[in-house]
């Protein structure tokens, strides 16, 4: 395998792995957060606005970890710095 | 395929580039400024009022209510900052329905600029409300050992704020772009609808988080005054 193939292989594999592994944790956490929010909504319907707002903010915080993984894999696929560098070097010669 | 609207360049002179991010940002800014000027030009205090004034009043009261809910007791002090953040991010994600439009918040430079505004605004409001020494002393609470961690949290939440918005908006346009090559017609429309929802939620969250940070910078004073 030449180095271009290695870079492409590694980038594609890591992109998939990072998104899939990075989605597991936030998915569990968001499920737990929504479940407990629904519980407290059922117990105290009066406090629904506060609960909903806190839930949204919390979900956004949790979700951002998944978004980081997505950003990393997107960069690896579409704007890979190593790949671009390799292309530059090979065409520069 | 481009990752952000930064790569669409309209005009270039040396190192100065005029890319799609700057152009759309300025168009959005002008739209917001001119429309609010036009609406607020002929405000009426009577019962008869124009539909546009009603719209503006609904938006303003809604934002004020949300800011108050975060824990900032006097929302009119902060609405100029937080409301602007919300309106700009909201409008920039609402315009996805225009064909050929790329949201400027899908570029990391815009979101970093917005979160740097928050990064500056938090100490600004904190010092304005509590005084310089009192605000700086909040960094060594509860003990002086916490000083580096407080500074790190200040920097990391700025990073998180910018990357969160960037990731959400970028992934929205990106997923539509990828789906266009797989299922050309119907599915991208559904994903654009989804993008509208996430865009508004992100605008809400960005401004609410900025409000929470400002409230946290101000709140300690209230506790101390309650104690004494």
pLDDT tens-digit readout, B100-143: 788 888 888 889 999 999 999 999 988 888 888 888 888 887 77
CB pairs under 8 A between A and B: 49
Q: Nearest Cα to B171, choosing from B106, B100, B90, B88?
A: B106
Contact B212 A49 (CB under 8 A): no
**What is the domain range of residue B218?**
5-227
pLDDT at residue B228, rounded to an integer: 45
pLDDT in tens, B14-47: 777 788 888 889 999 999 999 988 888 877 777 7
The complex's ipTM? 0.71
pLDDT at B222 over 70: no
From chain B, the residues in CB contact with A49 under 8 A are 69
Q: Is residue A83 within 8 Å of A11, Cβ to Cβ?
A: yes
pLDDT at B198 over 70: yes
Other beta carbons within 10 angstroms of residue B6's beta carbon come to 19
Indicate the CATH number for domain A3-88: 1.20.20.10
Cα end-to-end span (Å), chain A: 20
- CA distances (Å), origin A88, targets A78, A84, A85, B51: 16, 6, 5, 57
Q: How confident is the model at residue A8 (pLDDT cuts 50, 70, 90)?
A: confident
Whether the pLDDT of residue A36 is over 90: the answer is yes
pLDDT tens by residue, B43-83 = 777 777 788 888 888 999 999 988 888 878 888 888 889 99
When pLDDT is averaged across residues A25-42 and rounded to a whole number, the result is 94
List residues in chain B touching A: CB distance below 8 A: 1-3, 66, 69-70, 160, 163-164, 166-168, 170-171, 174, 201-202, 204-205, 208-209, 212
């Amino acid at each position: 395998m030449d180095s271009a193939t290695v870079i492409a292989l590694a980038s594609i594999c890591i992109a998939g792995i990072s998104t899939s592994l990075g989605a597991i944790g936030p998915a569990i956490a968001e499920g737990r957060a929504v479940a407990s929010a629904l519980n407290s909504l059922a117990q105290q319907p009066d406090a629904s606005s506060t609960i909903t707002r806190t839930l949204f903010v919390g979900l956004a915080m949790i979700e951002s970890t998944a978004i980081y993984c997505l950003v990393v894999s997107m960069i690896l696929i579409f704007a890979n710095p190593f790949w671009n560098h390799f292309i530059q070097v090979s065409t520069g010669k | 395929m481009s990752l952000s609207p930064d790569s669409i360049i309209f005009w270039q002179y040396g190192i100065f580039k005029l890319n799609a991010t700057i152009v759309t940002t300025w168009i959005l800014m002008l739209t917001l400024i001119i429309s609010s000027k036009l609406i607020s030009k002929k405000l009426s205090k009577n019962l008869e009022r124009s539909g546009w004034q009603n719209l503006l009043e609904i938006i303003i009261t809604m934002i004020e209510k949300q800011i108050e809910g975060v824990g900032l007791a006097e929302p009119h002090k902060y609405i100029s900052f937080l409301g602007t953040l919300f309106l700009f991010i909201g409008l920039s994600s609402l315009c996805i329905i225009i064909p050929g439009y790329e949201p400027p918040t899908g570029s990391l430079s815009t979101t970093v600029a917005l979160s740097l505004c928050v990064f500056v605004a938090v100490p600004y409001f904190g010092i304005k409300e509590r005084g310089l020494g009192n605000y700086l002393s909040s960094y060594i609470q509860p003990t002086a050992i916490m000083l580096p961690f407080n500074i790190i949290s200040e920097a990391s939440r700025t990073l998180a704020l910018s990357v969160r918005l960037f990731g959400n908006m970028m992934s929205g346009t990106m997923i539509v772009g990828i789906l266009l090559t797989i299922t050309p017609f119907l599915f991208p429309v559904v994903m654009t609808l989804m993008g509208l929802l996430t865009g508004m939620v992100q605008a809400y969250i960005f401004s609410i988080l900025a409000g929470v940070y400002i409230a946290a910078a101000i709140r300690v004073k209230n506790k101390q005054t309650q104690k004494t």
